[in-house]
């Protein structure tokens, strides 16, 4: 049986322009080379459903796609970016007005698999995606939408974009020893919540254009 690759997204909207409507939480064939999995939003559902899928079938590679908020204002709305590493945001403990990560607390070693110097760096895939800007990702449990939260985020992290699943995908892929790739389209800037400025429809269109040939 031919070994396939797995396309992973958190919501149906993030793949509908590529594969139509598919059922969430179950692996669905796209073609002879690819299956797709909708995990649900956030790290916990992503870890569970992706791990379950990888226990059931061995894949050549994983490609996580979706939208992202841009922390780095040099990124353009609707731009498609290649997330080359990711971090789990605010995973640790408050220390009065300060914050200590699990690494600072010695609850997790900075270079213990699947981490490399505190970050989740995926095993390289064989995709040719040099046209897409390389960025650093941050995975959050709550999407940043206030000035205070943004100040705190910038104090502790040097990330370009935020999502709610990227680090979870890299974590699981690294644990299973499977190469992974994360492509995201910028739908909004990370700022006090203002939906009027979001470009979700346009960003999704750009994402679909970027991914379509990769899953042929």
Q: What is the pTM of this model?
A: 0.95
Any idea what the Cα angle at residue 184 is, between residues 104 and 186, rounded to 5°?
95
**Whether CATH 3.40.630.10 fits 5-215:** no
The pLDDT value recorded for residue 23 is 94
Name the CA radius of gyration of the chain, rounded: 17
Residue 96: exposure state from Cβ atoms within 10 A (0-12, 13-18, ≥19): exposed
Token digits for 23?
């059922």
* Tens-digit pLDDT profile for residues 41-90: 999 999 999 999 999 999 999 999 999 999 999 999 999 999 999 999 99
Mean pLDDT of 204-209: 97
Mean pLDDT of 165-171: 98
The domains of the chain are located at: 5-215
| Separation CA 170–CA 167 (nearest Å) | 5
Confidence of residue 102 (pLDDT cuts 50, 70, 90): very high
């Amino acid at each position: 049986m031919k070994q396939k690759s797995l396309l992973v997204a958190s919501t149906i909207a993030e793949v509908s322009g590529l594969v139509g409507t598919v059922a969430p939480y179950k692996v669905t064939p796209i073609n002879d080379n690819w299956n797709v999995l909708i995990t649900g939003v956030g790290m916990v559902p992503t870890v569970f459903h992706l791990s379950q899928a990888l226990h059931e079938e061995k894949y050549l590679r994983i490609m996580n796609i979706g939208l992202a908020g841009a922390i780095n204002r040099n990124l353009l709305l609707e731009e498609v970016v290649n997330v080359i590493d990711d971090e789990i945001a605010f995973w640790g403990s408050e220390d009065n007005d300060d914050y200590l990560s699990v690494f600072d607390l010695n609850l997790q070693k900075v270079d213990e698999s699947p981490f490399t110097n505190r970050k989740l760096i995926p095993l390289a895939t064989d995709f040719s995606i040099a046209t897409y800007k390389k960025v650093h990702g941050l995975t959050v449990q709550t999407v940043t939408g206030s000035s205070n939260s943004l100040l705190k985020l910038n104090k502790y992290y040097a990330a370009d974009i935020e999502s709610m699943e990227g680090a979870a995908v890299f974590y699981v892929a690294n644990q299973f020893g499977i190469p992974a790739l994360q492509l995201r389209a910028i739908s909004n800037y990370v700022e006090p919540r203002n939906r009027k400025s979001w470009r979700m429809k346009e960003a999704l269109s750009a994402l679909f254009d970027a991914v379509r040939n990769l899953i042929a």
